[in-house]
Chains A and B, each alone.
Chain A
Amino acid sequence: MVFNSYTFVVFFSLMLLLHNLPLPWKVKKINLLLASYIFYAAWNPPFILLLWLSTVVDFFVGRALYTQQNKIKRHALLVVSLVGNLGMLCFFKYGNFFLENFVSLCNVLGFDYHPAQPSIILPAGISFYTFTTLCYTIDMYKRESKPVKSLLDFSLFVTFFPHLVAGPIVRPPQLVPQFESERKATKQQLLDGLLLLTLGIFMKVTLADNMLAATADAVFGAHAPLGSLDAWAGVLAFSGQIFFDFAGYSTAAIGVAMCLGFILPQNFAYPYAAIGFSDFWRRWHITLSSWLRDYLYIPLGGNRKGQFRTYINLMITMLIGGLWHGANWTFVVWGGLHGLFLWIEKALQDSRRKATNLSPEDTVVATASVIPGVKIKENFLKALLTFFMVCITWVFFRSATFGGAWGLLNAMFAGTPGATPLLTSIAIIKVAVVITLMLVFHWTMRKTTVLKTAGKLPWWGVALAWSFMLVMIILSQESGKSFIYFQF
């Protein structure tokens, strides 16, 4: 089930009603759990079995990991959890990819191998709930938090419908304690939640699907050579589409949870206002980047094993982060490009630090003490440069093949002589207006949040903006389209 559908309107209305009835807290939690299973099963009922399997295995393995004193047994339990979770993810998400690459390797080595093409369907949200359950068992192994007391709470933590299929990726300490005592949204939370839900659906339906998707699809799916204007318009359209689609989902998810009285972690913080790539990853898909930092980068050694290892660890993290997004080498290259840009940024910072002989803390103080007006202009230009570089990485993220990606990059920077114009004027105007407004909003909101800003506006101003979003959602008529991140 997707948030932007009539089914969800009915489902969520019923959930709000049930959650506010005078029922015992345990009954309400059972209601939430059953509703979450219905939410998931409404997409493809059989895959609910995978979710159950993952939940039950990790609940018991997690508890045993925490209590087991025997080192060998603890290692064995961790391996069971890792193999179970990652094995399932690898089979469903990467099965075809591994097979294709194996066949290509065989052919390169001269073996004529042609296996039957498997028909594997990717269960929605498997990458998200696998990471959610994995972090629990790893935490239990490291004894960083206490095991969840009841299977009901653990099941709800894994399955809670707002975050189930596309995040935010939650950690046990962020959500499990919220299930321990009765939660009911205050009037303020309900209002805030409804505002965020509206904003999220507006971002998805009106901006991503209605304004930008067709242009991005036309350019990335073009069979004929493209001119520079079309190529740039398509790439900019995708940069907006992917943000509005995914941030829209996260915003709606946070809003839905808030309406029920739960707090989910923030997942986006105006990423296109990022000044540099490390800042970008602190603002884009925050829960994934912090997951990768805590469960991959730091266990690999982080920056504690010398400069060379830091660079290698950074690149490994970004390559795996790329592959997490999709089973295609283009995603790996996307991750690799981000890794490369992070290298360059780190090298520049390190050399500047050496030149001025400042510690990292001193650099922050020095940066803050520069004249504000000059600094703002400089930072704005740096943010624009970061956005421009991020757009280049999106070419690999969205292209189905490397040939397509190179062709598009070539069209962006060199143009193609004699290319037939592709996009209508209205499509180009839509991209120009939406992307410009998006950048302005990101820059002006980079140090605040929607709810803080809404709280400071006059009440009628909020009403006008809210009403504008609702009217645009009605007029967009794009309900029911899947979110891009469902396929990851």
Chain B
Amino acid sequence: MKLNLPVKSLLLALALTVSAAVCWELYLRSKGIEPDFDDSPELWANARAMAYEPADKATVFIGSSRIKYDLDIPTWESKTNTRAVQLAMVGSSPRSILADLANDPLFKGRLVVDVTEVLFFNNAPYVLASPEEGINYYKKRTPAQTASFAVDKYLEANLVLLDRDFYSVNGLLNHLYVPNRMGVYAGLDFPVGFGFTSYNRQTKMTASFLADTNRVNQVRGIWGMLAKENTAPPMGGKELDSFFAAVKQDVNKIKARGGEVVFLRTPSSGPFFMGESMGYPRAKYWDRLLTTTGCKGIYFKDYPTLANLVCPEFSHLTPDGAVVYTNGMIAALKQQTNWKL
């Protein structure tokens, strides 16, 4: 026989749930953590839908994580009175996104492509996976998913506890650091505060991260580990020829519709920049990219205001550095192109 469930069970359950959520939220805020956005396919698709604004109203940025840190969107928007649509993806090559925009007849705008050589000149599946996931999500996005995002963006903007990387069940369990068997690849463990993402997809290092040498060194250690693990020689020979041919084809498609493309080499520092310069000599990669595509390029070392910017963990600028870089980039774009910014 089934006995009846009393209403007080529901009421107590709701009270306990709300109390637990409020306490957890207050605890996280008391530690100085602020709400940010998961850099998810949903957030990328939301930005991707904005790529159709006219060229004089918006500029689209694609690339890897550097441009997400180095472009300060409020500075760009206040200085140019145009929108910056951030479509770059962390740890990825922008090749798929370039091809997606090139094959989209509705895209006729301005495009800035950030070149991090080790990721850009790379056809490995792991650097193409997240852009393809984002593109697929955007193309197959249902009305229900779009509506869910409209609710989600308000919740994510206001609740710290919705940070999936650190405070979800999996985030918490993964940070228990249970020792693994020898040889298991546990993924990259970026410390808290290294990647604070806003609704506009700009990513920043937090002040507490920058003040904590241990965490900065942890990120430097990750770059060192990746450099050691990545023993494959840089792309060359016929593979590189066909790579350039494909990029040129995509760029030409955009230009044929009246769009414009500019390449950026965003700053890196210390051993990271040395390694990149040796592995990917400028003449063989960067210069050839500009010659092949016939596009303008802004290489940070060519501009005195940008040349000496320092990346604390060797690869990305601080929020203050991003403001300096964005101002310098706007000046360089005005000088190099006829864009009315």
Given contacts A6-B151, A41-B143, contact A474 B8 (CB under 8 A): no
A429 to B176, CA, bound (A): 12
Give 7 nearest A-B pairs by CB, closest first. A455-B3, A463-B12, A466-B13, A42-B144, A6-B151, A467-B16, A1-B144
A-B contact pairs, 16 of them (CB 8 A): A7-B148, A8-B144, A42-B147, A421-B182, A421-B184, A424-B174, A425-B184, A430-B173, A454-B5, A455-B4, A459-B6, A459-B9, A462-B13, A464-B13, A467-B14, A472-B169
Which residues of chain B are near A420, meaning CB under 8 Å?
183
Cα distance, A452 to B4, chains bound together (Å)? 9
A7, A8, A214, A459: the one within 8 Å of B8 (CB): A459
B164 lies within 8 A of A7 (CB) = no
Residue in B144, B176, B180 whose CB lies within 8 Å of A2: B144
Total chain B interface residues with beta-carbon distance under 8 A: 48
In contact, A475 and B173 (Cβ under 8 angstroms): no
- When distances are taken between beta carbons in the complex, the residues of chain B under 8 Å from A44 are 142
CA gap between A430 and B174 in the complex, in Å: 11
Out of A214, A421, A480, name the residue touching B181 (CB < 8 Å).
A421
A residues contacting B by CB (< 8 A) are 1-2, 5-10, 41-45, 187-188, 191-192, 194-195, 206, 210-211, 214, 420-426, 429-430, 449, 451-452, 454-456, 459-460, 462-464, 466-467, 470-472, 474-480
Interface class of chain A by DSSP: helix
Residues of A within 8 A of B164 (CB): 477
Which chain A positions have C-beta within 8 A of B176?
426
Task: Compute how far the CA of A430 lies from the CA of B21 in the bound complex, rounded to whole angstroms.
Answer: 23
From the candidates B5, B168, B180, name the one contacting A455 in the complex (CB within 8 A): B5
- B88 CB → nearest A CB, Å: 23
From known contacts A187-B7, A421-B184, infer whether A471 and B143 are also in contact, taking CB-CB under 8 Å.
no
Alpha-carbon gap, A424 to B170, bound state (A): 12
Cβ of A369 to closest chain B Cβ, rounded Å: 26
Complexed CA–CA distance, A455 and B86 (Å): 53
Is B161 part of the contact surface with A, judged by Cβ < 8 Å? yes
Which residue of the partner chain B has the closest CB to A454?
B5
Does B144 lie within 8 Å of A421, measured CB to CB? no
A7 to B150, CA, bound (A): 9
Contact B2 A455 (CB under 8 A): yes
In the complex, given contacts A474-B161, A475-B161, what are 19 additional A-B residue pairs having Cβ atoms less than 8 angstroms apart?
Answer: A1-B144, A6-B148, A7-B147, A7-B148, A42-B147, A43-B142, A45-B143, A191-B9, A192-B5, A210-B168, A210-B169, A424-B174, A425-B179, A425-B180, A426-B176, A463-B11, A463-B12, A471-B21, A480-B145
Q: How far is the CA of A451 from the CA of B152 in the complex (A)?
A: 32
Closest CB in chain A relative to B173 CB, distance in Å:
5
Name which residue of chain B comes closest to A480, CB basis.
Answer: B148
B5 touches A462 (CB 8 A): yes
Whether a CB of chain A sits under 8 angstroms from the CB of B186 is yes
| Interface assignment of B209: CB less than 8 Å from any CB of chain A | no
Across the two chains, which residue of chain B brings its CB closest to A419?
B183
Q: Which residues of A contact B186 (CB under 8 A)?
A: 424
- Asked if B188 is at the interface (CB within 8 A of a chain A CB), the reply is no
Known: A42-B144, A425-B179, A460-B12. A475 touches B5 (CB 8 A): no
Given known A1-B144, A480-B145, contact A467–B183 (CB-CB < 8 A): no
A470-B13 contact given A42-B147, A480-B145, CB 8 Å threshold:
yes
Q: How far is the CB of B156 from chain A (nearest CB, A)?
A: 10
A434 to chain B, nearest CB (A): 12
* B178 interface hit (Cβ, 8 Å): yes
Contact among A5, A194, A449, A467 with B144 in the assembled complex (CB-CB below 8 Å): A5
Report A-chain residues with C-beta under 8 Å of the C-beta of B181.
421, 425
**A20→B131 CA distance, assembly (Å):** 46
Determine if A7 and B161 form an interchain contact, defined as CB atoms under 8 angstroms apart: no
Residues of A within 8 A of B13 (CB): 462-464, 466-467, 470
| A contact residues around B178 at 8 Å (CB) | 424-426, 429
Chain A residues within an 8 Å CB radius of B6: 459
Residue contact B12 to A477, C-beta cutoff 8 Å:
no
Specify which chain B residues have a CB less than 8 angstroms from the CB of A2 in the assembled complex. Answer: 144
With A and B bound together, what is the CA distance between A466 and B178 in angstroms? 29
Partner of A467, one of B5, B20, B147: B20
**Whole-angstrom CA separation of A425 from B1 in the bound complex:** 43
**Chain A min CB distance to B18 (Å):** 9
Q: Decide: B12 and A467 in contact? CB cutoff 8 A.
A: yes
Q: Are A210 and B4 in contact (CB under 8 A)?
A: no
**Residue numbers in B under 8 Å from A476 (CB-CB):** 168-170
Report the separation of the CA atoms of residues A474 and B18 in the bound assembly, to the nearest whole angstrom.
Answer: 10
Whether the pair A10, B151 counts as a contact (CB closer than 8 A) is yes
Q: Shortest CB–CB separation between residue A356 and chain B, in angstroms? A: 36
A475 and B182 in contact (CB under 8 A), knowing A5-B144, A455-B5? no
Is residue B10 within 8 Å, beta carbon to beta carbon, of the partner chain? yes
Taking a contact as CB atoms under 8 Å apart, the answer to whether A191 and B7 are in contact is yes
Distance in angstroms between the alpha carbons of A76 and B9 in the assembled complex: 56
A463 touches B9 (CB 8 A): yes
- Are A7's CB and B9's CB within 8 A? no
Contacts of A192 in B (CB 8 A): 5
